Structure 1
Amino acid sequence: MTKLLDVKGLHTYYGESHILHGVNFDIQPGQAVSLMGRNGMGKTTTLKSILGLVPPRSGHVLFQGEEITGLPTWQRMRKDIAYVPEGRGMFHNLTVKEHLEMAARANQKGEQHWTCERVLETFPRLQERLTNLGTQLSGGEQQMLAIGRALVTNPELLILDEATEGLAPLIRKEIWDVIRTIKSSGISTLIVDKNIQVLKELCDQHIVLVKGQVVFSAGSSQLMESLDEVESYLGV
């Protein structure tokens, strides 16, 4: 089976600062993969390297077997990759409805399983806020909108950076429930988050970064066997 995403030997810099040191991992179709590490260990840089927002100086990114390392970000996203950034990325002049309608499209196969209507059914709060600007929403509602905006692009891979950061417990639970629904629908996910207790149950594979290097890469059963080691990397 062709790997959905294959990351090979990424070395990424900010100026002369060497951030990623040969990062390797892959995602199979339908898998949920966690990317964990303390702050400043290279998680967001890894995501931005995959997306072309911070191009690596060396290494390769393949999506569905195709080399995309040299492509601009917009072309990568058109290959059915969606990104929910840390900070949510609301447009200050667009309403909730406009955020969804602006992003909505079929995937490369011509399929449109996630419509604006389905997103609003999944997040009833957004239905109540359709005419509000995205920046007028609460933090939890903004995260729902950011996820919904990504889903209406009908991606094969959904990348979530700190999906539950700073949210109230009940909202976090709601977001995790939606991510489970996304996984069950067949969309692959790459999730950056700190909640190891949820991630160990939700995700199929786990990657841990320390100073820009992969120090742990295994499935959930191995994660449980090495939980003390992994928690030491995370500072839990």
Structure 2
Amino acid sequence: MSTALLEIKNINTLYGRSHILHDLSFRLDKGHSLSLMGRNGMGKTTTLKSILGIVPPRSGHVYFDGEDIGRLPTWKRMRRDIAYVPEGRGIFHNLTVKEHLQMAARPGSNGQASWDYDRVMETFPRLQERLSNLGTELSGGEQQMLAIGRALVTNPRLMILDEATEGLAPLIRQDIWNVIATIRESDISTLVVDKNITALKKLCDRHVVLVKGRVHFDGSSAELDRNLEKVERALSL
């Protein structure tokens, strides 16, 4: 049986009096990829922020590699080798492409740096051409490549991508899917939020669908195929 890298158990997260996540539970095994799907406002980003401690749950547990990290501040959680590519990308307007990558670079907790600057350049040759450009001078697709590259040079064990291909042109979208597949092949576990069921079925081992902050579906790609009508209905309502 695979070992869980990330496991959340019965978390409840609120914004003021608004109860967003209701007894939410799922797990992501080491070296695997998990998709998190749902319509807008169903709790996907809140789930990620709960995992990272940006919006701490009122109750429940967040385990990372067997350790309950639920009471740790965000920066200490990230130092457990978690990388986050946020919706909107979080690019700094006053840093060049090269500075973004140099600023973030560090070996993982095991002291290894399998994802270094040179490997990111090989993976994203388009960034190589724009090293001296400020982050805000890049296209949306290039910014997403930079956000992923910046996360990779921290040498994470878990990479979380929120709205991985949102708003990108089809060809750029495919480039991003190819890169995420490469990341997974390098033994980094991935948690991906996106709406493209077809791409996610090919890429991810397991899928969680949220409806109003609750797990509506949790299963493998084969199980997703068998419940496709149920899932598509939940995503289109």
**TM-score normalised by L of structure 2:** 0.98
Q: Which runs of no fewer than 5 residues in structure 2 stay unpaired?
A: none
Identify the residue that residue 231 of structure 1 maps to in structure 2: 232
Identify the residue that residue 64 of structure 1 maps to in structure 2: 65
Letter in 1 for 2:55: V
Identify the residue that residue 12 of structure 2 maps to in structure 1: 11
| TM-fit CA distance, 1:2 | 3.5
Deviations 1:15-67 (A, max 9, x none): 11000001100011011000000000000000000000000000100100001
Letter in 1 for 2:214: Q
Letter in 2 for 1:186: D
Rounded to whole Å, the distance in 1 between the matches of 2:156 and 2:66 is 16
| TM-fit CA distance, 1:84 | 0.1
CA contact (8 A) 1:11 1:59 kept: yes
Q: Secondary structure at the match of 2:4?
A: coil
Q: Secondary structure at the match of 1:88?
A: coil
Rounded to whole Å, the distance in 2 between the matches of 1:92 and 1:116 is 20
Q: Secondary structure at the match of 2:88?
A: coil
| TM-fit CA distance, 1:158 | 0.3
| TM-fit CA distance, 1:160 | 0.3
Rounded to whole Å, the distance in 2 between the matches of 1:172 and 1:99 is 22
1:192 lines up with 2:168 in the alignment = no
Letter in 2 for 1:97: K
Alignment of 1:79-158 (within 5 A): 79-158=80-159
Rounded to whole Å, the distance in 1 between the matches of 2:97 and 2:201 is 33
Q: Which runs of no fewer than 5 residues in structure 1 stay unpaired?
A: none
Rounded to whole Å, the distance in 2 between the matches of 1:232 and 1:94 is 43
Identify the residue that residue 25 of structure 2 maps to in structure 1: 24
Rounded to whole Å, the distance in 1 between the matches of 2:168 and 2:32 is 25
CA contact (8 A) 1:23 1:214 kept: yes
Rounded to whole Å, the distance in 2 between the matches of 1:218 and 1:131 is 44
Rounded to whole Å, the distance in 2 between the matches of 1:103 and 1:73 is 16
Q: Secondary structure at the match of 1:147?
A: helix
CA contact (8 A) 1:2 1:65 kept: no
Rounded to whole Å, the distance in 2 between the matches of 1:116 and 1:74 is 23
Rounded to whole Å, the distance in 1 between the matches of 2:171 and 2:7 is 35
Rounded to whole Å, the distance in 1 between the matches of 2:138 and 2:202 is 30
Letter in 1 for 2:194: D
Rounded to whole Å, the distance in 2 between the matches of 1:33 and 1:53 is 21
Identify the residue that residue 163 of structure 1 maps to in structure 2: 164
Q: Secondary structure at the match of 1:111?
A: coil
Q: Secondary structure at the match of 2:80?
A: coil
Rounded to whole Å, the distance in 2 between the matches of 1:82 and 1:33 is 15
| TM-fit CA distance, 1:201 | 1.0
CA contact (8 A) 1:20 1:213 kept: yes
Deviations 1:170-219 (A, max 9, x none): 00000000001011111000000000000011100000000000010000
Identity of aligned residues (%): 69
Rounded to whole Å, the distance in 1 between the matches of 2:56 and 2:134 is 32
Q: Moved runs in structure 1, 4+ residues, more than 4 A? A: none
Rounded to whole Å, the distance in 1 between the matches of 2:170 and 2:202 is 18
CA contact (8 A) 1:160 1:192 kept: yes
Letter in 2 for 1:201: K
